Chain A
Amino acid sequence: MEKIIEVNDMVKQFGSFIANDHLTFDVYKGEIFGFLGANGAGKTTAIRILCGLSAPTSGDVKVAGFDIYRETEKVKKNIGYMSQKFSLYEDLTVSENIRFYGGIYGIPKKERKKKETELLQKLEMEEARDKLIVGLPLGWKQKLAFSVAILHQPKIVFLDEPTGGVDPITRRRFWDLIYEASADGITVFVTTHYMDEAEYCNRVSIMDEGKIEALDTPAALKQTYNSANMDEVFIQIARKPEAKKQ
């Protein structure tokens, strides 16, 4: 299988604190890769490095075939990013946001208009076209943010806790969009702390205190840790250091 993200011995240090401790992993083209870990495990740090928002302290990182140090801007052309904190301009309308991001990625006007119509149809949000983002329900915002992040047909989309704070049904619908993007050939790199979402991934890695403790398919992980679901797998891994300390 073709590797689309190659991470080799990546370290990120903030002063004496090691946020990413010698990470090594690959992500294959077209897969849905779950990046799991407790809060503060170093997930967001890693995803920010992969997106070119933050420079690693050491190690080799290639994203979409480009070196993260030297070809940062080329990487950026080939990725989409949706963060937990912010994605869309709240004081712009739905349509304006689509236009704005479409413009930044250099999508021609005609094509952008076509995409906008398709996108709003798919999300059943045609009536909200001229509404301000600030007034939309959180679930809508998330779906729209995701659609905008893949508007320019990136090779990879990075999702940093995309479904925080919404109900299970809305989350399920969001995952339908992820599957659709994956079927279109977009590699999905997603962090989450919902273990039911981990089950939807092709492969998952579980981080703890800056290190990757486990990386495999959900089924294999359940077998290795002799657990009925990912929840138990996660708890076993996350508790290990505590046991060590005691």
Chain B
Amino acid sequence: MIFWVPLMQMIILVFAATYDMKKIDMAVVDNDLSETSRQLIAKFDAIPFYNVEHAFLEVSSGEELLLSGSTDLVLVIPSGMEKKLIRENEAGLQLLVNAIESNSAQLIYSYSSKIISDFNRKLIAEQMGMPAFDPPARVNISESYWYNEKLDYKWYMAPGILSVLVTIIGMFMSGMNLVREKELGNIEQLNVTPIKKHQLIIGKLVPFWIIALFELAFGLIIARVVFKLPVEGSMVVLFGMAGLYLFSVLGLGLFISTVTHTQQQVMFMNFFFMLIFILMGGIFTPVESMPEWAQTINHINPVYYFMRIMRQVTLKGSGIFDMMDEIAGLSVLGITFLSLAIWRYRKTN
């Protein structure tokens, strides 16, 4: 069960948590009804994921559609655009974007303005009567997205979700296990033995460390098969870093279990840390765009380091020397959390 449940989560989450634009519903308010405006609309319509569903003559109709949420984008072409273009060499257009989800709104906006400026360029060329083989001198931008060429959002999410799964498995299992012994009462039987505190904590750490690494291996295979996620870097580095990372997560889990008495308390505490760590660690939103204080807090967030490591090693192929900051951060956290767990564990109450 500890294997297939997280894997189901991974497959579902990675497919679901995507920002990729699949389809943009669009409405057009064409008050110009000219050759140019028709050409522009046709240009949008020709792009597969733009779906020109409605055409109105009134801006208010387009706004109504936006309000009801049944369209993502309204393009408003004012009357006399073509004339203005010819006479004054410039004309205005309006884009109304449904920005309930700001991320997709930005994407829609940038796609659409790119289409319009493309159209614009062609218009200028035609107007100036210049043949296509001799365009006016201008700067051309050609893009190439490094590390994730096709901007496949799944490649961004898969390593992230995988780090979350490894984290949850490690933290919950180690924390629950020790507290379960408290609930059953067998912790007493251990406490009357001459076992050393660090021996006990290490004994509670190693099995879950191994299980979590297995889980990671399994998850990587699934990511490879289902999402074709590349692992550019070395597997040794990836697992070495994961092993280092797990010390801090398991250490924290064990520390929590030394200060709690029931499994419910552990659940509650784990949930608290987990939510903060994961959401702040940059699974959905880039850490760089978080406020200063949040970035500072992230220095004690093991998930933040591991999320970076996972993405860097899988997509970018980073080696150990590219990740010195992460290694230092995780080492400090691991030693701190484990020491806290050992220090806080009480054989005599």
Chain A interface residues (CB < 8 Å from chain B) = 48, 51-55, 72-74, 76-77, 79-81, 83, 85-87, 89, 101, 104-106, 158
Q: Name B192's contact: one of A55, A81, A89, A106 (CB within 8 Å).
A: A81
- Contacting chain A: which of B181-189, B206-214, B271-279, B327-335? B181-189
Q: B189–A52 contact, CB under 8 A?
A: no
Chain B interface residues (CB < 8 Å from chain A) = 184-186, 188-195, 347-349
B148 to chain A, nearest CB (A): 45
Q: A105–B192 contact, CB under 8 A?
A: no
Q: B194–A73 contact, CB under 8 A?
A: yes
Once A86-B184, A86-B186 are accepted as A-B contacts, the answer to whether A52 and B347 lie under 8 Å apart by CB is yes
A13 to chain B, nearest CB (A): 14
Docked complex Cα distance between A87 and B194 (Å): 16
A19 to chain B, nearest CB (A): 13
Q: A53–B188 contact, CB under 8 A?
A: yes
Docked complex Cα distance between A48 and B192 (Å): 9
What B residues does A85 contact at CB under 8 A?
A: 185, 188
Q: A77–B185 contact, CB under 8 A?
A: no
Q: B193–A104 contact, CB under 8 A?
A: yes
Docked complex Cα distance between A180 and B32 (Å): 107
**Interface residues of B: mostly helix, strand, loop or mixed?**
loop
Q: A76–B349 contact, CB under 8 A?
A: no
What B residues does A53 contact at CB under 8 A?
A: 188, 191-192, 347-349
Docked complex Cα distance between A106 and B194 (Å): 9
B240 to chain A, nearest CB (A): 29
* B203 to A, closest residue via Cβ: A104
Once A85-B185, A86-B185 are accepted as A-B contacts, the answer to whether A51 and B192 lie under 8 Å apart by CB is yes
B318 to chain A, nearest CB (A): 41
Q: B184–A54 contact, CB under 8 A?
A: no
Q: B347–A83 contact, CB under 8 A?
A: no
Docked complex Cα distance between A28 and B237 (Å): 61
What B residues does A48 contact at CB under 8 A?
A: 188
A187 to chain B, nearest CB (A): 15
What A residues does B195 contact at CB under 8 A?
A: 104
Q: A72–B347 contact, CB under 8 A?
A: yes
Q: B185–A76 contact, CB under 8 A?
A: no
What B residues does A86 contact at CB under 8 A?
A: 184-186, 188-189
What B residues does A51 contact at CB under 8 A?
A: 192
Once A73-B194, A86-B184 are accepted as A-B contacts, the answer to whether A81 and B189 lie under 8 Å apart by CB is yes
What B residues does A83 contact at CB under 8 A?
A: 185, 188-189
